[in-house]
């Protein structure tokens, strides 16, 4: 069983005194991750990692994250190999959600972000747009 937090309150408490987590403390760049966190990893490609979000938005099951293994902050900073390998991320995500609808987003500015490491969110589409707006405004 994969252990995920039921809400983002724990994450909010973790970062409440920090405006943004930079490279020095980046949770995506940690070299030594514990057993529980390893269980969150769904897929690794040459240049990307896909995992369950340890602190998913509100009540959302299957909130996935994809991020480059190299620490970068913006999509424009992806190199050619990372961009080509992103196709493997897309293929995995499509296979993961199968026939279910899903959507993705990335925040390219620092506003509203909590981690300064490029990461894409993938969420099941069974969320109504009004719910999504509430989620983003809260988180």
Q: Which residues pair with 50 in a beta bridge?
A: 43, 66
More confident residue, 114 or 70: 70
**Residue 114 pLDDT > 60:** yes
* Contact of 47 with 69, CB cutoff 8 Å: yes
Query: What is d(CA 85, CA 75) in angstroms, rounded to the nearest whole number?
Result: 13
pLDDT tier for residue 118 given thresholds of 50, 70 and 90: very high
| pLDDT digits 0-9 by tens, 5-44 | 555 555 455 544 454 566 777 888 887 888 888 999 999 9
| pLDDT digits 0-9 by tens, 31-85 | 788 888 899 999 999 999 999 998 887 767 889 999 999 999 999 999 999 999 9
Global pTM reads: 0.77
Separation in Å, CA 56 to CA 9, 24, 97: 10, 23, 17
Length of the chain: 139
């Amino acid at each position: 069983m994969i252990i995920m937090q039921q809400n983002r309150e724990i994450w909010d408490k973790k970062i409440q005194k920090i405006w943004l987590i930079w490279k020095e403390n980046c949770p995506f760049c940690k070299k030594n991750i514990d057993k529980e966190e390893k269980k969150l990893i769904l897929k690794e490609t040459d240049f990307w990692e896909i995992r369950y979000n340890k602190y998913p938005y509100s009540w959302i099951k299957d909130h996935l994250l994809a991020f480059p293994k190299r620490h970068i902050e913006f999509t424009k900073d992806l190199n050619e190999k990372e961009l080509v390998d992103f196709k493997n991320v897309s293929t995995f995500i499509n296979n993961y959600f199968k026939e279910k609808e899903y959507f993705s987003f990335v925040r390219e500015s620092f506003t509203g972000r909590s981690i300064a490491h490029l990461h894409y969110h993938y969420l099941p589409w069974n969320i109504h747009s009004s719910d999504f707006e509430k989620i983003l405004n809260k988180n």
